[in-house]
Amino acid sequence: MAAAAPADHTAYGNLLAFNDFHGAIDPPTGSGAAVLGTPAGGVEYLAHWVKKLRAEGEAAGQEVVTVGAGDMIGATPLVSAAFHDEPSIELLSELGLDVSSVGNHEFDEGVTELKRMQHGGCHPVEGCFAGDGFDGAEFQYLAANVTDKRTKLPILPPVDVKIIDGVPVGFIGMTLEGTPGIVNPAGITTVDFRDEIETANLWSGLLRLLGVKAQVLLLHEGGQQGATGNVSTCDGFTGVISPIVAGLRDEIGVVVSGHTHRFYSCQLPNKSGKPVVVTSAGTNGQLVTDITLTMDRRSRTFTSIEAHNVVTENGVRNADGTWQTTAPGVFVRNPALVDPAAKAIADKYRTAVAPLANRVVGSISADIVRDVQPSGESPLGDVIADAQLAYTASAGAQLALMNPGGIRAPLTFANSPGGEPAGQVTYGEAFTVQPFNNLVVTYSLTGAQLDAVLEQQFAGHAGQNTTKILQISAGFAYSYDSTLPLGSRVSGLTLNGTPIDPAATYKVTTNDFLANGGDNFTALTAGTGRVYAPGFDVDALVAHLATGPVTPGPANRITKLG
């Protein structure tokens, strides 16, 4: 960044940023419980660290603004989802979030429900929890690139301006343009999602005309760095955020990003080649990005920007530097790092949901992880596909397909949220794995259509923007070679050892998100004769767990040839 202005003309600010909170009120468990070995997350710990960093910034003479980059709600565990994410909104307001962009998951229950999250009011069907009303978010959601089809105007404010130590700082908030491909289409029929660069520059220019020349973009899109031992580096960085930043105006000096659930702190070049600070704080409230700003009061521009990620540590450290555990991977929580106000709110909802959440529904024999093999297949993906196949046997289902993005957490053998014995699985744990309440659909696809679906897994083919390997049920198998041309990578499709006949018809089960073309699997919309199973996709998983102990899937049904 440019050299600092003389001290008498310098204004000081501090941004505290996080993204992809996903209603993670309880600390994450299993393989996601720690960040580079440090146990982290849980809303009372996130609140502690945010308030601690805010106090430190204010003590250093900085004015502090707390910001988010989307997916604050949606894909949430039962303690939040059971109350339509009102607990998460209440908790984010309490910890002092000021402004956030929307993300794709803010649209999981549609535009109308998102507006209720902002403005308040009881749920139109289920009313309000305990009859105490719902006031909506005390922070401001921004949606610059989500416009009403009729009015062509943003559905929520596109920008917000904060006066930081006497200097106006503009915040532009957006979700990724590709949101329609990764949310249920039914809830977003009235809106358009516009190009990120064009939208950011439009509102940046308007802010400039109003004299706001120090600007921050809150964008629910991101990238990832390579393997690293540091949460605040940018090594081997890749991702779609880079070309977006490369198209931005000079006024935007900071981009707080998200969506990829990765941590990084980068400097990427903008349209004129100037470095822009680009950050992401991972996911589940396990990190907070501490961004220090200095500005010139005369020019009203940024003069220096520095950023680093802080782990929202929640554990108890042993004398040798290791962390106390009660079982492998199950960390002891540190009461000294709990924010009392956040804990009081969280405990209210934990108590209310406990009878449902802590009900034991089945068992597992070992950890069932969602980590993928080189082929893209995971043990938990196998289990979920098998569960959906069994759940729809009465509809004649022959195979099942599951989207990997719908698998939100592992099943951990030692986890005991309700005090149940190790290996037993509660409804709350199952819901955390599959929190979307998707319907389960069985319909007919020809062998040729099924092949087209599998070819559409690869980025660049038939409208697919990112490679997504669908999880498949037992008895179905195929191979692929990623070095071959798009559209001809898949081979050797078999069902129970018999080659798939392109002209034959097969009964396929999936969720309605995929059946409606979600994740850009438009080939799945070709299915005919839909039959809907009772309940939701989580009910299929629960029914399967009840047959347990369920073992981890073999993750050997898909063969990667190259």
Specify whether the CB–CB gap between 396 and 506 falls below 8 A: no
Residue type, 424: Q
Position 4 confidence tier, pLDDT thresholds 50, 70, 90:
low
* CA distances, 407 to each of 37, 132, 370, 431 (Å): 23, 33, 7, 10
Mean pLDDT is lowest, of 52-61, 123-132, 358-367, for: 123-132
The two three-digit tokens of residue 482, written as one number: 């990623």
496 has a pLDDT exceeding 60 = yes
pLDDT score for 1:
47
Question: Phi and psi at residue 117, in whole multiples of 5°?
Answer: -60, -40
List, for residues 67-83, the tens digit of each pLDDT value: 999 999 999 999 999 99
Work out whether the CA dihedral 330, 335, 338, 344 comes out positive or negative: positive
Average pLDDT over residues 525-538: 96
Residue 228 has pLDDT above 90, yes or no: no
Q: What is the pLDDT of residue 181?
A: 87
H or E element: which one contains 193? strand 191-193
d(CA 106, CA 259) in angstroms, rounded, equals 12
Span 498-506, mean pLDDT?
Answer: 98
pLDDT at 3 > cutoff 70: no
Residue 354, classified by CB atoms within 10 Å of its CB into exposed (0-12), middle (13-18) or buried (19+), is: middle
Among the listed residues 356, 354, 315, the one whose alpha carbon sits nearest the alpha carbon of residue 333: 315
3-state secondary structure 412-478: CCCCCCCCCCCCEEEHHHHHHHCCCCCCEEEEEEEHHHHHHHHHCCCCCCCCCCCCCCCEECCCEEE
Cα separations in angstroms, 297 against 4, 5, 207, 255, 326 = 11, 9, 17, 21, 53
With H, G, I as helix, E, B as strand and everything else as coil, classify residue 397. coil
pLDDT of residue 6: 52
28 Cβ contact partners less than 8 Å away, ≥ 6 residues apart: 40, 41, 42, 284, 286, 409
Q: What is the distance between the alpha carbons of residues 284 and 87, in angstroms, rounded to a whole number? A: 15
| The two three-digit tokens of residue 272, written as one number | 């004129």
Q: 10 Å Cβ neighbour count for 395?
A: 17
- Smallest CA-to-CA distance from 301 within 66, 4, 61 is with 4
* Residues recorded for the chain: 562
Give the three-class secondary structure for 148. Answer: strand
Name the one residue in this structure whose structure tokens are 């100037």.
274
Which position has the token pair 């003590």? Answer: 59
Which segments within 197-269 are labelled E, that is strand?
A: 214-220, 252-257, 263-269
Tell me the C-alpha distance between 235 and 535, whole Å. Answer: 45
Closest CA to 286 of 268, 313, 249: 313
**What percentage of the chain reaches a pLDDT higher than 90?**
93
End-to-end CA distance of the chain: 44
Q: What is the pLDDT of residues 337-361, one digit of tens each?
A: 999 999 999 999 999 999 999 999 9
CB 253 within 8 A of CB 275: no
Q: pLDDT band at residue 317, thresholds of 50, 70 and 90?
A: very high
**Residues 412-446 pLDDT 10s:** 999 999 999 999 999 999 999 999 999 999 999 99
**Over 60: is that where the pLDDT of 13 sits?**
yes
Question: Is residue 529 classed as helix, strand or coil in its secondary structure?
Answer: strand
Confidence band for 379, pLDDT divided at 50, 70 and 90: very high
Q: Around Cβ 496, how many Cβ atoms within 10 Å?
A: 10
What distances in angstroms separate CA 261 from CA 211, 431, 466, one per listed residue?
34, 20, 15
Q: Per residue in 99-120, pLDDT tens?
A: 999 999 999 999 999 999 999 9
Distance (Å) of CA 67 to CA 86, 107, 288, 474: 19, 19, 10, 45
Please check the confidence at residue 173 and state whether its pLDDT lies above 90. yes
Q: Say how far apart CA 309 and CA 13 lie, in whole Å.
A: 17
Q: What is the mean pLDDT of residues 478-503?
A: 98
Contact (Cβ atoms closer than 8 angstroms) between residue 82 and residue 441: no
The larger pLDDT score, comparing residue 228 to residue 525, is at 525
In angstroms, the CA 405 to CA 129 distance is 30
Whether residue 367 has pLDDT greater than 50: yes
* Nearest residue to 223 via CA among 288, 177, 268, 183: 268
Instruction: List the structure tokens of 42.
Output: 């849980």
In whole angstroms, what is the distance from residue 376 CA to residue 471 CA? 8
Q: Please give the pLDDT value at position 465.
A: 87
Give me the helix-helix angle, 379-391 and 537-545, nearest 10°.
Answer: 100
CA distances from 15 to 57, 64, 276, 291 (A): 9, 6, 15, 5
Q: Is the pLDDT of residue 288 over 70?
A: yes
CA 338/CA 49 separation, integer angstroms: 9
Backbone CA torsion sign across 18, 23, 25, 29: negative
What's the DSSP call for residue 328? T
